[in-house]
Amino acid sequence: MMKKDTRAEPLNSGGHVMEVINENSEVLVYIDEHRKFLVKPRVKPKLETDRGIINVEDLIGKKYGDFVLTSLNVKAYLLKPSISDYIEKFRRITQVIYPKDLGFIVFKSGISSGSIVVEAGTGSGVLTATLAYYVRPNGKVYTYEVRKEFIEIAKSNIKMAGLEKYVVFKNKNIEEGIDEESVDAVFFDLPMPWRLVEVAYKALKASGTLTIFVPTMEQLLKSINSLRQHKGFVNIEAYDTLLRLYKTVPGEIRPMTWTVAHTGYIVFARKVVI
Q: Is the peptide bond before 10 cis (omega within 30 degrees of 0)?
A: no
- Say if 20 falls within a structural domain: no
Mean pLDDT within 114-126: 97
Are 6 and 59 in contact by the 8 Å Cβ rule? The answer is: no
Nearest to 50 by CA among 81, 74, 18: 74
User: Is the predicted pLDDT of residue 227 greater than 90, yes or no?
Assistant: yes
Domain total for the chain?
2
CA distance linking residue 124 with residue 107, whole number of Å: 22
User: Is the predicted pLDDT of residue 73 greater than 60, yes or no?
Assistant: yes
**What is the SS3 assignment for 137?**
coil
Mean pLDDT within 232-260: 91
Task: Fill in the DSSP letter of residue 213.
Answer: E
Considering the domain architecture, whether residues 56 and 182 belong to the same structural domain is answered as no
When pLDDT is cut at 50, 70 and 90, the band that residue 101 belongs to is: very high
pTM over cut 0.85: yes
Q: Which of 68-72, 90-94, 180-184 has the lowest mean pLDDT?
A: 90-94
User: Is the predicted pLDDT of residue 12 greater than 70, yes or no?
Assistant: no
Considering the domain architecture, whether residues 73 and 154 belong to the same structural domain is answered as no
Considering the domain architecture, whether residues 126 and 182 belong to the same structural domain is answered as yes
The interaxial angle of helices 148-160 and 126-135, nearest 10 deg, is: 50
Considering the domain architecture, whether residues 112 and 95 belong to the same structural domain is answered as yes
Provide the pLDDT for residue 259. Answer: 79
User: Is the predicted pLDDT of residue 8 greater than 50, yes or no?
Assistant: no
